[in-house]
A and B are shown apart, each in its own frame.
Chain A
Amino acid sequence: MEKTLDAFEIGDVGTVKRVGGEGKIKRRLFDMGITPGAEVLMRKRAPLGDPIEITIRGYELTLRKTEAACVTMEVKG
């Protein structure tokens, strides 16, 4: 099943399928390791609901929901 990263529930695991978004943000997502095929675990939401924290390539990354919406994921069952 496909969904964007901002729609992930805590504990969801999936692989990155596509990364969209405006040039600068997209490049930053790539540079931080969010490239197709990378595995992602949705770790938690900040106390106010946004941003979110994920584990990718063995480290913790935080990003806002608006930025996470640029990332299309394949959810693992």
Chain B
Amino acid sequence: MKRFALAGNPNCGKTTLFNSLTGSTAHVGNWPGVTVDKRDGVYKKTPEPVAIVDLPGIYSLSPYTPEEVIARNYILDEKPDCVINIVDATNLERNLYLTTQILEIDVPMVIALNMMDEVEKAGDKIDAELLSSRLGVPVVKISALKENGLKDLMETAYAASLKERVGTTVLEESSLAHLIGDVRIALKGQGVKGPLFHAIKLVENDSIEVEMHKETIPMIDEFKATHEDDVFGDDFEALVADARYKYISEYFAPALSKKKQEKFSMSRSDKADKVLTHKVWGIPIFLVILFAIFHLTFSEDFLYLGAIFKLPTLEDLGLLTEDADPLHYGVRLLACIYDGAVFSPGVIINNIWNNMLVGELFGRLGGLVEGSSMAPWAVGLINNGIFDGISSVLSFLPPILVLFLFFSILEDSGYMARIAFILDRMFRRFGLSGRAFMPMIMGFGCSVPAMINTRTLADDKERTATVRVIPFFSCGAKLPILTAVAGAIVAYFGVGNADVITFLMYLLGIVTAVVTVLLMRNTTLKGETPPFIMELPAYHAPQFKNLMAHLWDKTKHFVKKAFTIILASTIVIWFLTHFSFNWHFLEDEAINESILAGVSQLVQPIFTPLGFGSQLGQFGWVFVVAAVAGLIAKENVIATFATLASCLVAMANLNIGGLDIAAEEGIDAVQAMILATGISVPALIAFIAFNMTTIPCFAAVGTAKAELGDKKRFNGTLIFWITSSYAVAAMIYTIGSWWWTAFIWAAVAAAATALVVLKNKRAAKTVKAV
């Protein structure tokens, strides 16, 4: 099958064209070795089907970014049958800069002049024939959005692919022509294929080419020595870039005739931008948009209608009673949408998906399994191990998709680039760019989409650092742990205020993230703050089709990547909680005899500095078990609290008074655990802090693994999570128990800071000396 590659600038409509051409055959993966999206699909309307490969969006074929290296290696090494270069007709000059570089490779090429509809709407004209005769390759006018000219484009590309093409260059007419010609002849003599491209890159001092043609460099340097230039001196990289743009403005600019002659006119997009990035209002507007996204996704009181109008709950209405028929679908559906308040769209989708569809399906399947004649352990394995694993993967889908939808809208509309613009100043201090903000803030919703979205970050180290701290932005599923433990502290010890404790814990997460990012960027993930030279694309309304294609990609990606790891780990944890050391199957209530409880008792001393270790006596292991259960999904911690509490009551003959252990919020269960273990307030706070900052749920771990790619980095990330949670929890416990230890911690922190600063200074000095 023939292969056509799509190449072009970011924001030139490449993805739209790709989606229109390939439709349902599209397939998204990663390029080998790097987490840059690799899309391929099939176009069927040419005489024979053609495979379409979407190369990453790039501005140039320089050796500096992974995207550019991928695109260039693909065209050079994989030799596609034709390169379709998409050029945004509304931004001709900069787009043609890449064109002049691809032109130099020996590969058939066709130019797709995209967004012609917008050019025509503005009353401008482009002379495609003039362009085509200058470039020596066919130029086809299209509108990827309106699907105009696609057939023509593909037929032209197919015809082009039948003939060979030898690279040409616009540098022929520059002062460099002679030098390039000499190098090309030398390379040709050595039998190098496609000598023109390599010759130009060698003249540019391109690091990849220099590495490849080491032995030829002295000769090239000799050639270069004879070339003199008064403006650039011996800066050949600058000379080449300058010559390209000079040629473009001289010969291609006439192809565009503009209706309005002003150079810097105000478009509609500019007017929108005036408000959205306003000096005073820019940041408040951004905060409102952010709040709206979270409100629409997670709020259980949409527009605060419930609170404002004091709406009745379903129980008040007499619809939901103790003995109501559980299979009454109408009421259940209503309960997904309304209960004393109208839920936000995100919550409604989540409820319908999890309570009605997935819950229903697995509930019924579980019932079938239970009704069968299988051994109890097999029933447990299938129901609590496998089914719970699968449904926990699936239960993540609604928040991921809804958050992604908003995220894609922000990205496609062009606003995301402005967020980076607004916030870059703040983030630079931590060695990150403004782009890192969105993934972090999304972490408050769910770590999984947040981690996937770190792809918008160009710098690898910045990405790793961001992925690592995302779980510290306490996600929706961690909130129940916070409220249960905070509620129990208030109820049992009668100190503090549950809301304040919860809020402070969120704050603690943010502080931990900031401190650890600073630490990483100065030690293990050291690197310069990545440059911030970025296009601000014109605003435009997001395309429904594109959004859906985007969502579908993410869903497939998540389910595929996260599935195995989540399922496997759920089964392992199930096994550890339901089997004793002598391989006896245990009921839920006998969790105290399980392997996990045994191991927890063994490792209990490790947690002594955190306050929930040996000092809690014989029942102290319950907190360790709850933390481990939280790895499956943080929601499990509460469920485990209930199981553990009932175990404790039976084992320790606790007099728990009026406590309702099975209550949903888990507050009473935690109180029973406090009663049995005698755990202190600082230790309880340390426990929630530990849960918040330690290894996140398996879904997030699986995503982190997929996104980091590199195995060493992933292992480092696991160690990072364990260490930081241990340190944070130990600090809280010790300072909370003995206030004067604050001085010790402060001294340690000061010493560590001084050490890092000194070491970096010395390293900087050695670099300078070299």
Contact of B533 with A29 in the complex, beta carbons under 8 Å: yes
- Of B273-281, B571-579, B604-612, the one contacting chain A is B273-281
Residues of B contacting A63 in the complex (Cβ-Cβ under 8 angstroms) = 532-534
A20 → chain B closest CB, angstroms: 10
Contact of B231 with A60 in the complex, beta carbons under 8 Å: no
- Of A32, A39, A51, A61, the most chain B CB neighbours within 10 A belong to A51
Contact of A62 with B422 in the complex, beta carbons under 8 Å: no
Contact of B62 with A51 in the complex, beta carbons under 8 Å: no
Residues of A contacting B584 in the complex (Cβ-Cβ under 8 angstroms) = none
Residues of B contacting A59 in the complex (Cβ-Cβ under 8 angstroms) = 91, 94, 535-536, 538
**Chain B 512-556 interface mask (CB, 8 Å, partner A; 1/0):** 000000000000000000011111111000000000000000000
Contact of A32 with B535 in the complex, beta carbons under 8 Å: yes
A interface, size bucket? 35 or more
Contact of B238 with A46 in the complex, beta carbons under 8 Å: no
Residues of A contacting B538 in the complex (Cβ-Cβ under 8 angstroms) = 59-60
Q: Which 10 A-B pairs have the closest CB atoms?
A: A30-B241, A48-B425, A31-B60, A60-B536, A57-B93, A47-B282, A63-B533, A35-B245, A41-B264, A35-B242
Contact of B93 with A33 in the complex, beta carbons under 8 Å: yes
A13 → chain B closest CB, angstroms: 8
8 Å CB interface, A20-44 against B = 23-33, 35-39, 41, 44
| Interface residue? B406 (CB, 8 A) | no
| Interface residue? A45 (CB, 8 A) | yes
CB closest residue in chain A, given B68: A31
Contact of A67 with B421 in the complex, beta carbons under 8 Å: no
Contact of A58 with B93 in the complex, beta carbons under 8 Å: yes
Say what secondary structure dominates the interface of chain B: helix
Q: Which one of A19, A27, A36, A62 lies within 8 Å of B62 (CB-CB)?
A: A27
Contact of A32 with B245 in the complex, beta carbons under 8 Å: no
Q: Which one of A23, A36, A53 lies within 8 Å of B231 (CB-CB)?
A: A36
Q: Which one of A13, A19, A60, A62 lies within 8 Å of B532 (CB-CB)?
A: A62
Which B residues contact A (CB, under 8 angstroms)?
59-60, 62, 64, 90-94, 97, 231, 237-238, 241-242, 245-246, 249, 263-264, 273, 277-280, 282-283, 417, 421-426, 428, 531-538
B528 → chain A closest CB, angstroms: 9
CB closest residue in chain B, given A55: B264
Q: Mind listing 19 A-B residue pairs with CB under 8 Å?
A: A24-B531, A25-B533, A26-B238, A27-B62, A27-B241, A28-B64, A33-B94, A33-B97, A35-B241, A37-B245, A44-B279, A45-B279, A46-B282, A48-B423, A50-B425, A57-B94, A58-B90, A58-B92, A59-B91
| Interface residue? A49 (CB, 8 A) | yes
Residues of B contacting A30 in the complex (Cβ-Cβ under 8 angstroms) = 237-238, 241-242
Residues of A contacting B245 in the complex (Cβ-Cβ under 8 angstroms) = 33, 35, 37-38
Contact of A32 with B533 in the complex, beta carbons under 8 Å: yes
A21, B246: Cα distance in complex, Å: 21
B62 → chain A closest CB, angstroms: 5
A28, B280: Cα distance in complex, Å: 31
Known: A41-B264, A48-B422. A36 touches B93 (CB 8 A): no
Known: A26-B238, A31-B97, A35-B242. A61 touches B279 (CB 8 A): no
A37, B242: Cα distance in complex, Å: 9
Residues of B contacting A24 in the complex (Cβ-Cβ under 8 angstroms) = 64, 531
Contact of A46 with B277 in the complex, beta carbons under 8 Å: yes
A36, B233: Cα distance in complex, Å: 14
Residues of A contacting B242 in the complex (Cβ-Cβ under 8 angstroms) = 30, 35-37
CB closest residue in chain B, given A57: B93
Residues of A contacting B59 in the complex (Cβ-Cβ under 8 angstroms) = 31-32
CB closest residue in chain A, given B258: A58
A26, B422: Cα distance in complex, Å: 23
Residues of A contacting B282 in the complex (Cβ-Cβ under 8 angstroms) = 46-47
A33, B417: Cα distance in complex, Å: 19
Given A47-B282, A47-B283, 9 new contacts (CB under 8 A): A26-B237, A27-B60, A30-B237, A30-B238, A30-B242, A39-B263, A46-B282, A59-B538, A64-B533
CB closest residue in chain A, given B101: A31
Residues of A contacting B91 in the complex (Cβ-Cβ under 8 angstroms) = 57-59
Residues of B contacting A47 in the complex (Cβ-Cβ under 8 angstroms) = 277-280, 282-283, 422
CB closest residue in chain B, given A56: B94
Residues of B contacting A38 in the complex (Cβ-Cβ under 8 angstroms) = 245
A29, B313: Cα distance in complex, Å: 60
A59, B9: Cα distance in complex, Å: 13
Contact of B535 with A60 in the complex, beta carbons under 8 Å: yes
Residues of B contacting A26 in the complex (Cβ-Cβ under 8 angstroms) = 237-238
CB closest residue in chain A, given B532: A64
B93 → chain A closest CB, angstroms: 4
Residues of A contacting B534 in the complex (Cβ-Cβ under 8 angstroms) = 61-63
A72 → chain B closest CB, angstroms: 12
Residues of A contacting B238 in the complex (Cβ-Cβ under 8 angstroms) = 19, 26, 30, 35
